[in-house]
Structures are given as C-alpha cells and as structure tokens.
C-alpha cells in the first residue's frame, strides 16, 4: 500500500446556503463547493437550455441545410474517430433523414491512413460520390486545406466543431462552434455532439417555419429522442458538465434508464453486464465510450457508428460484441505499452538524479499510435505530471504521432502552439484543449522537439507545487454513511468533468478482508469510534495470487455506492485510495 495523496477539502461559501432551499445538509455542502449558488442551477428541464440562436453562425448553417434538403442534395457527414465523433455522426445522419433529407451518408477518416479531420485526401476520396454538401462533426475548425480542396471540387462545407480554432477561421460556407472568437454563446463546454444537436434544433425550427413538414407530409422529429447519443458523446469527451451540459446528459440518462434509448447503446451496456435501469454518467464514460473508442483506436470507428445507427436489438447486439472484443484487445495492447512507459519514466527520473522530472515526453518504436492517448493518461495519473506519448505513424510514413495529457495549471495546447510558433516547421500539425492535445512531427525532428518540449515544461511548471493532492467533500458522520444518502447522491448529478462525483475521506477499522476477482480487496469496515459496519471494495489493490494485506485501522478516500444483488440493495463504499494508520 502506498501513501495517500495530500487530502484537501473542497471549500464553499455558506452565505448562499439559503438559496438552495431544503436540501440534505451533505448535498447542500456538495453543491456549494461546486459553485452552485441558486436552486435554479439545479433545475434540469429542457426549457432551461440556452437557445440555439445564441450560437454564432447558426442562421447561415440553417440556411445552407434548408437549401440542401429542399434541393434533394447529396449530404456527406465527415466525422471523427472517437466516441464524441461517433455519436455526432450518428445523430447527424438520423436527424437529417428524419427531417426529409434523402441522400445522407457519412465517412470517417481512418486514423491509420488519413489522420484527423477534413483533409484534402478525404475530400478526394469523397469527390467521386459527388456530394453537394459536406458537414463536419467534431472536427473541421482547423481543416483549412481540406475545405479549400472541397471548394475546388464545387462542394460546399458546413463546419460544426467545438475545438479551439487557430488564429484564422477556415474558409467554410458556415461555421458553428461555441469557441469561435466572435461567439457569445454562454456555454463554451458543448461537445461536438452537443453542437450538431443544437444545429438540428435550429434546422427543425427553420423547416417548420417554411411549412416543409406539412408539404412533405412527415412529422417533425422529436429531437429529444437523440439525447441518449448526446449524453454519451458529452460524457465521453470529458467536457465540463456545466448547467447546460448537465441538462443534456440528465435527459439522455433518463431515456436510457427508462428503456427508450437506441438499441446500440442498450447493447453496449448489456455486453458489459450493466443494469440499464441503473445507468449513471460514469457508465457512459467507463463502459460505453471505451467500446466505441476501441474501434477508432484499433480498427474503424464505422463499426461503432453502425452500432449506434442500428434499428434492431439483434443487429446492435452483434456489433456490440465486436466492439467488446476490440476493447479487450485494446486493453491487452495498452497494458504492454503502459509497462514500457513506466520503465521509461523510471529511467528518466534516474537520469535526473532521482529527482522526478516535471513532465515526460515518451516515444517507443513498438507502440500503437491509436492507444498512446490512454498511455499518456495513465502515466499522468500515476505521476501527476504532464505526459506526451508518441508512436510511429502507419507504415510507410516518416512521421510520428502523439497524444498529450496535462494537469491543472498547464494549458497543453497553448504550450504546443508556443513551440510551433517559436520553432517554425518543427511540428507538422497539432490541436486540442487545455488538458489534452495531439500532434504529429517528422521522426527526424524528435530529439530536437523533445529537448524543446522538456525545456518549455520546466519553465511553465517551475513555480508549481507538483505534489499530488486530492479534493474531497470532507468526512461523513457515522449516521450519514447510509443507503439513503447514497441514493440521494446518485440522483443528485449527473456527475462528471467539472462537476465531480462526491468523494469523502475518513478512518475505519477493518474487521474482515478478502481478495475477490484475484486483484480486488473486499473489506468489512467500521467507522472509527462506532459499532456500525459497512462493506467496502478497493479495486486493483492486490497482485494476483497474493493474500489480502493485514490491516487494522485505515485512512480511506471513498464514495458511497448502492450494491444491487438478487433484488436487494445494500450500501457499499467504493474505496479510491487507502493506507494503513499507525497512530492506533
């Protein structure tokens, strides 16, 4: 057992406590510490959504789509190879077809051949099918060359994206992106699937105003039926769950738990053994998203999109099984890569006179470039350092590609932009967010890039305290550790990035312990100073074949959970971190 990180309790201002009404004191404390200052911010009705017309460029986009649908034009959606891209693509296809567009197809760049976004190569691949309009989803804001190629082929381009733009916007016919410099949309946290959902809302209004649905004798689609897709893409892309996104995710989860979700999402939950009626946002992030992402990382995300588009449970089940197998393979590949990465980190620290580096740039000739983002995430979590993991691009290319994951306080995309600006020609392409970014560069420039990257990281973090700490919601009283509060917290979300699931810390006596599933530590715990007992489980705590550690008094970081078994609900603590206490 290793020492726990430094525990810091979330702070909150009690002056707004009265504004949250008659809530359980623990829940009220949790909301206040997440900057909720009025009960209105807890209202999650669809009528609370920010209106679509507040998005810059949406009127131009609707005009283009209305003209295309009215002219029976050929529409091609160009997606991205992750869960946000897959859900964006599926939503766009389904909604446009439901609104009367008869010729809607999609294409997603194979990451091993074409890389990211609307590239000139993708346009050339699509051109023989003669699309009249290309719609990008979850990409396109940096696709200057691809859009220019499309224009030369007589193809209009409508960009929907949420990524940060460069200094100049691409020459598209219309751009809908809440992060455009001229956009005043109050929520900058929309995922790609959120942007295309908003555009479909505006399009439905535009078509309705023109009497389109009456003329075509079709019913206007109920776009709320696609909120399960919005929820999956939003949670999967780790965008902050601000008020607007919580509304979208909450209604998506409501559809899923109510049995009204798409067959593909149901199948992905079932193949993982989840109870659909108890689905929460973490299930979307840790169950559905990895299986969709596995297709894009190792094979072709089209398998994931077709699963989401499936209209029958049988078709969805077959595709979900394929995705589950891909995810198992991905885990095996990732495990080997992670072991190599940990060895590389230990070597770098040793070369640094046993003083841990402030950041890591890792490259391995044998790594799979579709999985480097996961490796970077795992090493970042274990070291609390920004990590860039790189691997060779597909065979035949003299390029390497990498994914970076950062820590709070370091905007990793801005750091890459700084390097690209100062060292012109060093980085081939880059893009991303504050916490995650990607790039490609020539293999011959790796050593030069590594030195500059490490220097910039050192300068950027020179005054930062890099000792790991963890924020909790404090300690719970003995009487507060109960099933009622567990269920209250479950329904008090949705929880996720920027609105984290409640986490607590405390000391417990261990009365029993055993190993389950070869590597998980199951314990019977008693809160210190009480005779009450509660079940607890700490995942991945024991090496296969080992006996459970001998523990008496522990300090634990945990969350409350409801365990369901044979129709019976019992309280369980999910222990995130644990260490023995010696001051007994």
Query: For the domain that residue 304 is a member of, what is the CATH number?
Result: 3.90.1640.30
For the sheet with 399-405, list strands across it. 360-363, 387-392, 399-405, 436-442, 429-432
Residues 305 and 400 in one domain: no
* The two structure tokens encoding residue 70: 């009215």
Q: SS3 helix, strand, coil % of the chain, rounded to 5?
A: 45, 20, 35
**pLDDT over 90 (residue 208):** yes
The Cα–Cα gap between 401 and 406 comes to 17
Mean pLDDT of 174-185: 96
Residues shown for the chain: 584
| Termini Cα distance of the chain | 18
How far apart CA 197 and CA 306 sit, in angstroms, is: 19
131 vs 531, higher pLDDT: 131
Residue 423 to residue 84: CA distance in whole angstroms: 32
Q: Which residue has the higher pLDDT, 177 or 518?
A: 177
3 pLDDT band (50/70/90 cuts)?
Answer: low
Name the strand (E) or helix (H) holding 509. Answer: strand 504-516
Q: Is 472 or 429 the better-scoring residue by pLDDT?
A: 472
User: Tokens 């990607």 identify what position?
Assistant: 438
Residues 334 and 482: their CA atoms lie apart, in Å, by 38
**CB contact set of 311 (below 8 Å; sequence gap of 6+):** 263
Structural domain includes residue 40: no
Which domain range does residue 412 map to?
A: 357-460
Compute the Cα dihedral for 404, 408, 413, 416 and give only its sign.
negative
Looking at the chain, the number of H-run helices and the number of E-run strands are 18, 17
Number of domains in the chain: 3
Position 2 pLDDT exceeds 60: no
Q: What is the pLDDT of the chain when averaged over all its residues?
A: 91
Position 285 pLDDT exceeds 90: yes
| Over residues 4-19, mean pLDDT | 82
Residues 454 and 475 grouped into a single domain = no
The predicted pLDDT at position 193 comes to 98
For the chain, percent of residues with pLDDT exceeding 90: 73
Residue 84 near residue 138 (C-beta atoms within 8 A):
yes
Q: Per-residue pLDDT tens for 36-61?
A: 989 999 999 999 999 999 999 999 99
The answer to whether residues 456 and 478 belong to one domain is no
Q: Does residue 110 register a pLDDT over 80?
A: no
Same domain, 369 and 451: yes
- Checking if the pLDDT of 134 tops 80, the result is yes
Beta-carbon count within 10 A of 467 CB = 8
Does 508 lie in the same domain as 573?
yes
Please list, residue by residue across 74-104, b when 16 or more beta carbons sit within 10 angstroms of its beta carbon and e when fewer do: bbbbbbbbbbbbbbbbbbbbbbbebbbbebb
Pick from 397, 430, 460: which residue ends a domain?
460
Is 103 part of any domain? yes
Give residue 115's pLDDT. 65
Range of weakest confidence among 54-63, 123-132, 193-202, 431-440? 431-440
pLDDT digits (tens, 9 = 90+) for 529-560: 888 999 999 987 777 767 778 888 999 999 99
Q: What is the pLDDT of residues 484-528, one digit of tens each?
A: 999 999 999 999 999 999 999 999 999 998 888 878 889 999 998
Confidence category of residue 308, pLDDT binned at 50, 70, 90 = very high
Q: Do 479 and 444 share a domain, yes or no?
A: no
Residue 532 CA: distances (Å) to CA of 480, 511, 524, 558, 579? 12, 11, 10, 17, 21
> In 3D, which of 335, 382, 337, 394 has the Cα closest to residue 356?
382
Q: How many CB atoms lie within 10 A of CB 17?
A: 16
| Shared domain check, 201 and 125 | yes
Which among 156-160, 345-349, 406-410, 430-434 has the top mean pLDDT? 156-160
Band of pLDDT at residue 260, cut at 50, 70 and 90: very high
* 397/492: higher pLDDT: 492
At residue 395, the pLDDT reads 58
* Residue 60 and residue 170 share a domain: yes
Same domain, 419 and 395: yes
In this structure, the answer to whether residues 409 and 308 fall within a common structural domain is no
119 vs 106: CA distance, rounded Å: 15
Task: Quickly list DSSP for 384-413.
Answer: TS-EEEEEEPSTT-SEEEEEEE--TT--HH
| Cβ atoms of 316 and 90 closer than 8 Å | no
What CATH number does residue 380 fall under?
Answer: 3.10.310.30
Residues 190 and 225 placed together within one structural domain of the fold: yes
Last residue of a domain, one of 303, 324, 345: 324
Answer yes or no: is 351 within a domain: no
Q: Is 470 helix (H, G, I), strand (E, B) or coil?
A: strand
17 in a structural domain: no
Exposed e or buried b for every residue in 257-268, given b needs 16+ CB within 10 A? eeeebbbbbbbb
Q: Of 304, 324, 344, which residue sits at a domain end?
A: 324
Residues 385, 484, single domain; the answer is: no
Mean pLDDT confidence for 112-123: 80
Evaluate if residue 474 carries a pLDDT over 70: yes
Are the CB atoms for 60 and 173 separated by under 8 Å?
Answer: yes
Q: What is the pLDDT of residue 113?
A: 65
Question: Which of 512, 582, 579 shows the shortest CA–CA distance to 548?
Answer: 512
Give me the phi and psi of 115, to 5 degrees please: 75, -160
pTM for the predicted model, two decimal places: 0.91
Do 284 and 231 contact (CB within 8 A), yes or no? yes
């Amino acid at each position: 057992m290793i020492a726990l990180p430094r525990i810091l309790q979330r702070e909150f201002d009690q002056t707004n406590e009265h504004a949250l009404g008659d809530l359980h004191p623990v829940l009220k404390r949790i909301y206040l510490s997440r900057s909720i200052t009025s009960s209105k911010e807890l209202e999650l009705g669809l009528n609370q959504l920010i209106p679509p017309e507040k998005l810059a460029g949406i009127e131009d986009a609707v005009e283009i789509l209305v003209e295309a649908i009215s002219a029976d034009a050929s529409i091609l959606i160009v997606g991205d190879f992750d869960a946000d891209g897959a859900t964006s693509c599926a939503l766009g296809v389904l909604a446009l077809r439901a609104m009367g567009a008869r010729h809607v197809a999609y294409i997603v760049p194979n990451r091993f051949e074409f890389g990211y976004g609307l590239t000139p190569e993708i346009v050339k691949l699509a051109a023989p099918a003669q699309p009249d309009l290309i719609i990008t989803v979850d990409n396109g804001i940096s696709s200057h060359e691809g859009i220019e190629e499309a224009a030369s082929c007589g193809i209009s381009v409508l960009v929907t994206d949420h990524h940060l733009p460069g200094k100049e916007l691409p020459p598209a016919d219309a751009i809908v992106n809440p992060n455009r410099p001229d956009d005043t949309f109050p929520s900058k946290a929309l995922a790609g699937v959120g942007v295309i959902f908003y555009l479909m809302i505006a399009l439905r209004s535009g078509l309705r105003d023109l009497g389109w649905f009456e003329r075509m004798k079709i019913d206007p689609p109920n776009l709320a039926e696609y909120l399960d897709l919005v929820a999956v893409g939003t949670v999967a892309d780790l965008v902050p769950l601000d008020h607007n996104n919580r509304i979208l995710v909450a209604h998506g989860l409501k559809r899923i738990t109510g049995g009204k979700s798409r067959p593909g999402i149901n199948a992905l939950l079932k193949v993982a053994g989840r109870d659909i009626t108890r689905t929460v946002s973490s299930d979307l992030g840790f169950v559905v998203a990895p299986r969709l992402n596995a297709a894009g990382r190792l094979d072709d995300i089209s398998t994931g999109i077709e699963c989401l588009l499936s209209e029958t449970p049988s078709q969805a089940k077959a595709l979900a099984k394929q995705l589950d197998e891909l995810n198992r393979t991905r885990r095996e590949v990732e495990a080997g890569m992670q072991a190599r990465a940990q060895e590389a980190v230990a070597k770098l620290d040793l070369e640094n006179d046993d003083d841990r580096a402030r950041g890591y740039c890792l490259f391995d000739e044998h790594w799979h470039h579709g999985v480097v983002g996961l490796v970077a995430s795992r090493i970042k979590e274990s070291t609390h350092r920004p990590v860039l993991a790189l691997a060779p691009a597909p065979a035949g290319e003299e390029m390497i590609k990498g994914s970076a994951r950062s820590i709070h306080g370091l905007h990793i995309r801005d750091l890459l932009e700084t390097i690209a600006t100062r060292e012109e020609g060093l980085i081939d392409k880059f893009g991303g967010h504050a916490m995650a970014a990607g790039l490609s560069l020539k293999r011959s420039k790796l050593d030069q890039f590594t030195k500059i990257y490490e220097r910039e990281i050192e300068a950027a973090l020179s005054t930062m305290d890099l000792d790991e700490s963890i924020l909790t919601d404090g300690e719970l009283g003995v009487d507060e550790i109960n099933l009622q509060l567990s269920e209250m917290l479950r329904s008090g979300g949705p929880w996720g990035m920027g609105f984290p699931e409640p986490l607590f810390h405390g000391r417990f006596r261990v009365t029993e312990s055993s190993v389950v599933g070869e590597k998980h530590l199951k314990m019977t715990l008693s809160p210190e100073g009480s005779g009450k007992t509660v079940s607890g489980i700490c995942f991945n705590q024991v090496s296969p074949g080992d006996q459970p550690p001998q523990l008496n008094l522990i300090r634990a970081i945990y969350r409350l959970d409801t365990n369901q078994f044979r129709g019976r609900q019992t309280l369980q603590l999910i222990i995130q971190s644990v260490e023995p206490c010696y001051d007994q």
